[in-house]
Structures are given as structure tokens and as C-alpha cells.
Structure 1
Amino acid sequence: MNKSEWAAWVQAVGSIGAILAAIGLAQHQYKLLAAREHERQRQAQLQFSNTVLSIAAYAQRAISTAPFQTDDEVAADRYFREGGLDYGHLDQCLEALKAIPLVQLSTGEGAIAVISIIASVENCIQWFGQADHLYVNPNSGDWKVPIDQAHRELRKIEVATAELTALRDSFLAGE
């Protein structure tokens, strides 16, 4: 082979090497980009889960101020005289929970848990409203019945919150 043929072969091999290097670099960049996107989504999911859990915990605290020991008339009287349930805080929790885009949750179980919390907070607001009315108008019925119902709803919130916590922890462990 003469010099020009060798030069052509060297150029061809060099061109192939450059193409392979470009493909390898593109694949490497794609993998880095995919890893960054996965981490971004993971962080967003964790932040989202923690936000949902914080709102649910806030609602639980607001609800748990009620006199669930309905045989303690002194505590009940003080509770209702001081204004009863803080509906404003519960309404804010409810609005925040309803604003959550459920598609951002990593599982259907998470979405179901959030829906359960929303329903239970709504039910608590209704039960406490009935209890307030019945406490002020004792001839209308026993205020303890709706308080007991609200207590059951609080337990449902606790269960759903535990499910969300387990899902989040499972998500963390799987990463």
C-alpha cells in the first residue's frame, strides 16, 4: 500500500473511532441526565409525601383537642365554652389536602390514603358541628354521639397516615 492508501485507512479508522466515542459520550450523558431526573423525581416525591403527612398531622392535632372522654363533663363544658373545634384550622387542612394532585403520589395506595384522610376530616367537621349544636341545644339530642363518631374518624386518619408513612418509608428503602 502506498502512502495515500495508508492515510485513507488511518482516516477511516479514526472516523470510526470518533463516531464510537461520540456514541459512548452521548450514552454517558443520557445516563447522567436520567440519573439526575430520577433523583429529582425521588426528592419531589419525598417532599410531597412529607407535606401530605404534615397536613394530616396538623388535622389530627386540631381534631384531638376535642373531649373524647365524653364522661368528663368538666372538660367537655370547658371545650365547648372556649369555642369548641377550631374549624378554621381544619378547613385550611381540608383545602390543602384537596389541592394535592393525587397523580403525584407514587402509588394508588397513597392516593387512596389521602382520599380517606380528606373524607375523615370532612366527616369530623360535620360531626363536630352536630356536637356543637347539640351541646348548645341539649333537648335536641346527646352531643356525645357525634363526638364518638368524630373519634372514629380520627382513628381512620391515624390509620391512613400510618399507611402513607409506611409507603414513604418503603419508597425510601427501595431507592
Structure 2
Amino acid sequence: MKKLKAIACHRHVGTTLAIALCCELIFAGVLYDLNKGEWASWVQAIGSIVAIMASVALVNRQLSAQSRDAEFRHKEATANKLLHITIVGSELQKYLQLFIDDARADRFDELNFKIQRSRFGAINGKLTTIQFDNLDVNCARSVAKILIVVRSLLELIEHTVGVAIDARNAFLQTLIDIEKLTSKEMRVVIDAYREITGIDPIEAELISLPN
């Protein structure tokens, strides 16, 4: 909005200067008491100057429009990417909470771990496809941390089937710590989406997070 106001202000200034210049040139013509022939040449010169100034103003206007379009496309691309991340992240948090509930109930059978591998493997695939080119440093760092967490979680699952109960308790605590870290980094992404779009994805029911 500030940029648009600045552009509008520059246009008004340019128009005022053009009118002032034309008045000065006409006044100069009157001052030198030009005859009809000289006035014709003088008016033609003024017209040429006005045409040049109009051309410059048109180019500036086109460049301003292109800049606004580029900025809009960049914001739109960033917002879409952030929304995709929040959707995948909310899915990850939901699966983490379900996994924690299973761990607390001591449901550590082979089928359960097969389901968890499938869930988190799919999350890993979705996160891996995300490009960081439109994201700020904090968001990119948060997504990278979440991706590392998911891959570490997959490795943990592979080595936890059939282990002793003490190791299972440690695994439960690890799951809880992972869920806390994921929630923290997800907040960074959600805040970035809200800052760009003015929309809270949770309040707008674009995503749902576990309680």
C-alpha cells in the first residue's frame, strides 16, 4: 500500500512539473514577443517536449505495474507453499499424537510399526518435494528441522520393534520431545503464512492441529 501511494505521489509531481514547464515555455514565448511563424515552431517544440515526457511517464507506469505483478506473484507462490507446508505439518502432528497414544498404551506390535512407517514415509515424501526458494530463512530452517525429525523418526521406528520395556519408555519420551519440537517449528510456518495473507489457517479451518 505504501508503494502504491508513493507511485501515485510521483505521478502527481510529474504532472505538476509538466504543466509548470509548459507554462514557463509559453511565458517565454510571450516575453520574447514571437510572431505567428515563431509561435508555430514554439508550440511544436512544446508539443514534442510534452510527448517525450508522456512517453517517459508511460514507461514508468508500465514498469511500476510489472513490479507490482511480480511482487504479487511472489507473495502468492510463497503463500501457496506455506499453506502446503502447514497442511503436511498438521498431518505429521496428528500422526505423532496417534503414535504417542499407541506408545502409552504399549501397542508396539509389528503391524502398528508397519502403519507408522507408512504414514511417516508418506510425510517424508511430501516434505522432500518442497523447494525453499520463496521462503524466508526462518521458515526454511523450520521446514528443514521438521524434515530431519521425520527421517530420524523413521530410523527410530526401524530399531524399536521387539526391544525391552525400558527402551520403549525412552522411545515414548523421544516421541513426546519430537512432537514438541514439531509444534514449535510449525508455529513459525503458520505465523509466516498469517503475515503474508492476513489469514490464520487454523481459524480459517484450512488445517486442524491435535489438542
The normalised TM-score by structure 1 is: 0.81
Q: Aligned to 2:119, which of 67, 89, 99? A: 89
**What is the alpha-carbon distance in structure 1 between the residues aligned to residue 144 and residue 157 of structure 2?**
20
Counterpart residue type for residue 64 of structure 2: K
**What is the alpha-carbon distance in structure 2 between the residues aligned to residue 53 and residue 172 of structure 1?**
14
**What is the alpha-carbon distance in structure 1 between the residues aligned to residue 111 and residue 148 of structure 2?**
26
- Deviation of 1:69 (Å): 6.7
1:94–1:118 contact (8 Å) kept in structure 2: yes
Q: 1:22 to 1:144 in 2, by over 3 A?
A: same
Moved more, 47-56 or 93-102: 93-102
**What is the alpha-carbon distance in structure 1 between the residues aligned to residue 83 and residue 73 of structure 2?**
15
Higher-Rg structure is 2
The normalised TM-score by structure 2 is: 0.69
**What is the alpha-carbon distance in structure 2 between the residues aligned to residue 10 and residue 142 of structure 1?**
93
**Partner in structure 1 of residue 182 of structure 2:** 157
Task: Compute the RMSD of aligned alpha carbons.
Answer: 2.2
> Which secondary structure does the structure 1 equivalent of 2:160 belong to?
helix
Matches within 5 A, 1:113-152: 113-134=142-163, 138=164, 142-152=167-177
- Deviation of 1:110 (Å): 0.6
**What is the alpha-carbon distance in structure 1 between the residues aligned to residue 102 and residue 91 of structure 2?**
21
**What is the alpha-carbon distance in structure 2 between the residues aligned to residue 47 and residue 71 of structure 1?**
36
**What is the alpha-carbon distance in structure 2 between the residues aligned to residue 36 and residue 9 of structure 1?**
41
Counterpart residue type for residue 49 of structure 1: L
* Pairing 1:28–2:61 present: yes
Q: 1:129 to 1:64 in 2, by over 3 A?
A: farther
Q: Aligned to 1:60, which of 93, 96, 99? A: 93
**Partner in structure 2 of residue 171 of structure 1:** 196
Runs of at least 5 residues in structure 1 that lack an aligned partner in the other structure: none
Q: 1:65 to 1:149 in 2, by over 3 A?
A: same
1:53–1:161 contact (8 Å) kept in structure 2: yes
- Deviation of 1:4 (Å): 3.0
- Deviation of 1:7 (Å): 1.8
**What is the alpha-carbon distance in structure 1 between the residues aligned to residue 143 and residue 120 of structure 2?**
15
How many aligned positions are there?
Answer: 164
Q: Aligned to 1:100, which of 130, 138, 151? A: 130
Moved more, 38-47 or 141-150: 141-150
Counterpart residue type for residue 123 of structure 1: S
1:97–1:118 contact (8 Å) kept in structure 2: yes
> Which secondary structure does the structure 2 equivalent of 1:143 belong to?
helix
Give CA-to-partner distance per residue, 1:96-144, whole Å, 9 cap, x none: 2122222220x2111110111011111221222223242xxx48x6323
